[in-house]
Structures are given as C-alpha cells and as structure tokens.
A and B are shown apart, each in its own frame.
Chain A
Amino acid sequence: MRYLFIGKSGAILLGYPDTTQDADVFVEKSAENGEALVRALLELSFHLSPDDMTHIRRGKDFVQLKNGPFDLDLVFAPDGIEGFSAAWSRRTESAGFMVCNIDDIIASKRAANRAKDRESLFRLEAFRDYLRSKD
C-alpha cells in the first residue's frame, strides 16, 4: 500500500513534539491501493460501513473515520501538494512508516489556511529549521 503520514501526526513521526487528536494519511488514489487500504483498516478493527468501503475504494478526496481504535483522516488530495507521486519522491521513512517531507506538511497546512493551521505554522517552521540543522 502506498501512503504517507501528513499533518501533525506526520510531523510527530519525524520528531516534532506536539499533540494531536487524529492521524492524517495521504493515500495514493488507485483501485489497488483503495482495496489494500480497506483490508488494512478492517485488520486494524475499524468498523467500516459499506458506504465507507465504497468511498475509500473510489478514493473520495477526503474520508474521515471515527469508527476505529483512533480517529483517522484519509486524504487523497491534500491542499498545497501537487500530487501523490511528487510527495512520494520527497518522502521520509521513520521507523518503517512513510511520512511526507516536512516541507510538504508545512505546505499543506499553509494552503489549508485554517485558524488551527496558522497557529501551528511558526513551530513547524522552526522544527523544519531544526531538522535541516541536523542534516
């Protein structure tokens, strides 16, 4: 399955110290990937309805799940990122998890432009600078 953690949960996987209420996953939109994702979610004990499964298989741009062991947002077309392949080429692996590059995480938050995103941008940008200083 091709996926990338994004949002604050992605940043936390990269070492960012903060809290979040859900995990955000950027998923490649394809029939194979959608099917694999449904299987993985059922394995993780998400209680998917038939409609949920259809939406995931079809790759609706945004699917929000609150029917599993943790809240999960599946994002097939995040704001501020041109496409999955480009984000995949810039990905970082953290302990076996695939994670968006910190620049993509920041770009998506900047493009979403919600109050809660604005509040977190300064800290995220400082964290990006910190990561770069360690390279």
Chain B
Amino acid sequence: MSHMTDRKPDIPPDLLAEFEAASRRTLQQRWKYAFIKTYKPVMDDAPSRAFDSMEEYRLWCEANLPVWLGYHRV
C-alpha cells in the first residue's frame, strides 16, 4: 500500500479515485459517455469552417464568440 502511495505522491485523492474508476471502464463505456452536445452560440451556426492558420482561428473565436464559452485566450 505504501508502495502505491509513493508512486502517486502528487495526485489529489479525489482525482486519483476518478482515474482508477475510469480505468475499470471499457473504452466503449468511456467513449459513449464522453460526448455531451450542448448548443454553442455562433460556433454551432455554420456547418463547417476552415482557417489558414491556428492564429486566424483564434482571432476569429475572439472576435465572434461570447467570452463565457472559454475560447478567448487568457
């Protein structure tokens, strides 16, 4: 037991418990419950977009998306 504790010294116990629980689920289970779709204003209003660079994409997000969506750089 002390061996296990020594190998995971910096992981908070609640996170460690989550990781251990996830490791007991199959990939199919993890994948099935991982995707949660909620409407994102502006972002979801076009079927596709393409950008010549990541910087162009980031600037587009900052100019068009509400801040609360989290796509603005810090």
Could you list which residues of chain A lie within 8 angstroms of chain B, going by C-beta atoms? 9, 12-13, 15-21, 47-49, 51-52, 55, 60-67, 70-71, 75, 77-79, 94-95, 112-116, 118-119, 123, 126-127, 129-130, 133
Q: Specify which chain A residues have a CB less than 8 angstroms from the CB of B18 in the assembled complex.
A: 17
> Do A60 and B70 have beta carbons less than 8 Å apart?
no
Closest to B40 in A: A21
Closest to B10 in A: A129
Query: For chain B, which range describes its interface: under 10, 10 to 19, 20 to 34, or 35 or more residues?
Result: 35 or more
The majority secondary structure among interface residues of chain A is mixed
Q: Specify which chain A residues have a CB less than 8 angstroms from the CB of B70 in the assembled complex.
A: 114-116, 119
Once A66-B44, A123-B15, A130-B8 are accepted as A-B contacts, the answer to whether A17 and B30 lie under 8 Å apart by CB is: yes
Q: Specify which chain A residues have a CB less than 8 angstroms from the CB of B10 in the assembled complex.
A: 126, 129
Contacting residue for A62 out of B50, B69, B72, CB 8 A: B50
Contacting residue for A127 out of B19, B48, B71, CB 8 A: B19
- Contacts A49-B47, A55-B50 known; 7 new A-B pairs at CB < 8 A: A15-B23, A17-B30, A61-B52, A61-B54, A71-B37, A127-B15, A133-B11
Distance between B47 CB and nearest chain A CB, rounded to angstroms: 4
